[in-house]
Amino acid sequence: MTYRTISITNLNRLFEYIIESKDLFAPKEREDQPGFYRFDRILKPDEITLSYGTTTIPPKAFFFPPEETLFTFSLSDEGAKLNPELEEAPFVLAGVHPCDLAAIEALDLALGQPPADHRWLFNRRRAVIIGVDCTPDEYCFCGSVNTLNSRNPADLFLTPVSGGYLVEIPTARGLELLSSVETFEAGPEHLEEAETRRKEKTAQLTAAFNRTSADIAGVLESGGFGDIWKELASRCYSCGSCNLVCPTCFCFHTDDRFELNLTSGHRFRSWDSCQFLEFALVTGGHNFRGLRRNRVRHRWRCKFLHLYKEFGRVFCTGCGRCSRACTADINMADVINRLVHESENHSETRPGKEG
Amino acid sequence: MNKQIQESDFPNPEGHWELYWLPHQAMVRRTRRLASRIKLLKLEMSTKAAFSYFPGQFIQLSVFGYGEAPISICSSPENSNVFELCIRDAGNLTHAAHDLEPGDRAGVRGPFGHGFPMNQLKGKNILVIAGGIGIAPLRSLIQTTMANPGDYGGISVFYGAKKPADLLFIDELENLNAEDRLNLSTIVDEPDRQWPGRTGVVTDPLHEFKIGDPENTAAVIAGPPVMYRFVLMKLLEKEIPEDQIYFTLERRFECGMGKCGHCRLDDVYVCRDGPVFSYSDLRDRREFNEIKQDED
């Protein structure tokens, strides 16, 4: 790993250089909601805020949009003519926090697993990713899921130090991009400052799991949490906010839409939520997760048990978005700690099968 | 375990990445009404690319503008470019599919999933247990065993439906029965005056059936979820080994490739890892057991 330093002026020059030839997306304060940020198209470097909290919508949206056209069709007597729709222009995504980098890495595994989702991989290839270190708030629990200092798949990673940023350069694409502006070799004082900053960041984390993320799988597998799921289901509105803001959720729904002429249209896919009543409903009326408590339970088991078994990592990055977005104040870290507490304290009396 | 995505994993823009989502085109060759809301469609693939499948696999049928729906292939894979789908008019897409006429075109993605374990079934007596339209994927299996009679032991078909008119493919099954090529038991829940046969549920004839050698017997089951629990109890009672009881599971399949998440059953994607599972694979999966208990 090579380390360089870059001044604020030169970093802005780098952003200007990017904007000249490519689309640049970075965190920008929302005009309609001051204090809230979103990844947006940047026209001038001073629109970017690199020291931001957490965006509501995770950056996965740039590789797996909330809604995307899979192909367009036009109908005639000879059949349907299909045209795949795919954006090819390269872009730069800047200002991605470690937890969101980890989420992209997790989705590389889930969507890249054969048969690979080519749309995800294709969009991933278009992008150069610039990460930036963050300042956690009371919802963040990245320290519990090993994403506190995630770097992959960033091409460049920035840590604020006096006079500018320390730049980590994990990839050749990052090095190539960075070579367009002046940078300096990082001295030991810069590395030390960055290390001090990381320690401060760790100390700032207040939310945490009481067990390691690897242990949570075992806790969930043991079952017997019927009362907890019932209580959560009594508060949950099945609104799906948790799924829609989650950086690692990847369930989707597909459907067709006709143009008004009824001879052409498109097939699209859009983000879906396992909390919706219709999610596991089949033709004929059977609903495989018709009970809200089973849908709530599925969310935790999917992220911390099923996907953990399949990919060796939990599909939670500690970003805290679901806890912030929940309309019923259900908090991810709190629920995990309740499950852990329940499994430790009532292991003899709990019924093994239910929940 | 945590494999990083390599440059070589990315799709080549010149490559065939689009096949993931683009349906192939097929032409409707024949349509036949089987019951009041059920039609049989015979399709022929229009593409030159080889299309082959196994009994128990399903395809995603597109009627452009209406979307896609997963449909089991219900014909024998012997002539795979031409295949049949048995479709109940029950939703948006299936309603549009009922309007298709010979000469019309539809889209086909797939086939998806693993079918019935035909190799493991070889040499065994097979109990084929169907409920209602569940006969569709099993018809593909029955036709395959009929085409290769030396490969399998005796075939016994237990077929239950709500009403006599809901018994599909009954002529061809009765012909095979009359020719002694299989042993057919039909039963209906709500008989009409013309119904000459038995009244009850599919576990009744199964209960009476004498199984000489359970170790050498396999069962394949397709039907509504509520049927599974009772059939399973009966089969275990008759000492059929757990790994020789096969279910084909119905779920909401949207992508067919283990991505969209709708068909998840605990840690498996039913579309990708099934839809056929042995009971020994399902026994310890919580979400399967809950259906067995018919909790909902």
Residues A148 and A167 sit within 8 Å (Cβ to Cβ)? no
Residues contacting residue A137 through CB under 8 Å, at least 6 positions apart:
A53, A54, A320
Residue B71 domain boundaries: 17-112
Q: Averaged over A244-250, what is the pLDDT?
A: 97
Whether B191 and B274 share a structural domain: yes
Number of domains composing chain A = 2
Tell me whether residue A321 is in a domain: yes
In a domain, A71, yes or no: no
Query: Which pLDDT does position B51 carry in this prediction?
Result: 82
- My answer on whether B61 and B147 are in the same domain is no
If asked whether residues A229 and A313 sit together in one domain, one would say yes
Give the model's pLDDT for residue B291: 67
Chain B touched by A328 (CB under 8 Å): no
The neighbouring-strand residues paired with A24 are A92
Rg (C-alpha) for chain B, rounded Å, is 20
**pLDDT reported for residue B6:** 53
Q: Which of B11, B225, B290 sits opposite A122 (nearest CB)?
A: B11
In angstroms, rounded to a whole number, what is the distance separating the alpha carbons of residues B22 and B1?
A: 31
Mutation pick from A282, A289, A353 vs chain B, by most beta carbons of B within 10 Å, is A282
Which stretches of B74-149 are DSSP H helices? 92-98, 118-121, 135-147
Residues B125, B99 share a domain: no
Q: Do A251 and A161 reside in the same domain of the chain? A: no
The reply to whether A97 and A27 lie within a common domain is yes
A221 and A161 fall within a common domain:
no
- What's the CA gap between B173 and B184, in Å, rounded? 7
What's the CATH code of the domain at B150? 3.40.50.80
Q: What domain range is A325 assigned to?
A: 213-260+273-345
Task: Look up residue A158 and give its two tokens.
Answer: 């920035």
Q: Give the C-alpha separation, B199 to B211, whole Å.
A: 22
* Strand, helix or coil for residue B26: strand
Interface of A with B in 176-195 (CB under 8 A): none
**Residue range A87-142, pLDDT digits in tens:** 889 999 999 999 999 999 999 999 988 888 888 988 999 999 999 999 999 999 99
Which of B112, B130, B156 is where one domain is finished? B112
Q: Is B107 in the same domain as B175?
A: no
H/E stretch holding B127 reads strand B125-131
Q: Are residues A53 and A124 in the same domain?
A: yes
Of A133, A128, A84, A76, the closest CA to residue A104 belongs to: A128
Q: In terms of domains, do B123 and B108 share one?
A: no
| Domain final residue pick, B86, B112, B138 | B112
Q: Which of B62, B93, B112 is the last residue of a domain?
A: B112
Assigned domain for B3 exists: no
Q: What is the pLDDT of residues B133-190, one digit of tens each?
A: 999 999 999 999 999 989 999 999 999 999 999 999 999 999 999 999 999 999 999 9
Tell me which residue of A344, A315, A311, A333 sits closest to A143, measured CA to CA. A333
User: Could you read off the pLDDT of B50-65 as tens digits, one per residue?
Assistant: 788 999 999 999 999 9
The whole-number pLDDT of residue A350 equals 55
Domain shared by B64 and B207, yes or no: no
Mean predicted confidence (pLDDT) in A296-323: 95
The pLDDT value recorded for residue B1 is 37
Q: Is A291 on the interface with B (CB under 8 A)?
A: yes
Render pLDDT for A318-348 as a digit per residue (tens, 0 to 9).
999 999 999 999 999 999 999 999 888 865 5
A154 contacts on B by Cβ (under 8 Å): none
Give the best residue of A88, A288, A317 to mutate against chain B (max B CB count within 10 A): A288
What tokens appear for B248 in the block?
């084909």
Is A350 within a domain?
Answer: no
| CA-based nearest residue in chain B for residue A126 | B10
Residues A168 and A253 in one domain: no
The reported pLDDT for the residue numbered B13 is 44
**ipTM reported for the complex, 2 dp:** 0.88
* Judgement on whether residues A11 and A119 belong to the same structural domain of the protein: yes
User: Could you say which residues of chain B have pLDDT below 70?
Assistant: 1-19, 48-49, 291-296
Shared domain check, B193 and B247: yes
Answer yes or no: is B29 within a domain.
yes
Q: Is residue A159 part of a domain?
A: yes
* CB contact at 8 A, A131 and A158: yes
Which pLDDT does position B287 carry in this prediction?
87
Q: What would the DSSP string read from start to end of A225-285? A: -HHHHHHHHHH-----HHHHH-SS---EEEEEEE-TTSSEEEEEEEE--TTSTTTTB-TTS
CATH of the domain at B40: 2.40.30.10
Mean pLDDT of A36-48: 95
Instruction: Give φ, ψ of A338 to 5 degrees.
Output: -65, -40
DSSP B124: S
pLDDT of residue A2: 82
pLDDT at position B77: 87
Is the same domain home to B257 and B148?
yes
Q: List pLDDT tens digits, range A266-291.
A: 999 999 999 999 999 988 888 899 99
Please state the separation of Cα A211 from the chain's center in Å: 22
Q: What is the pLDDT of residues A169-225, one digit of tens each?
A: 999 999 999 999 999 999 999 999 999 999 999 999 999 888 888 889 999 988 889
Average pLDDT over residues A305-314: 93
* DSSP label of A155: S
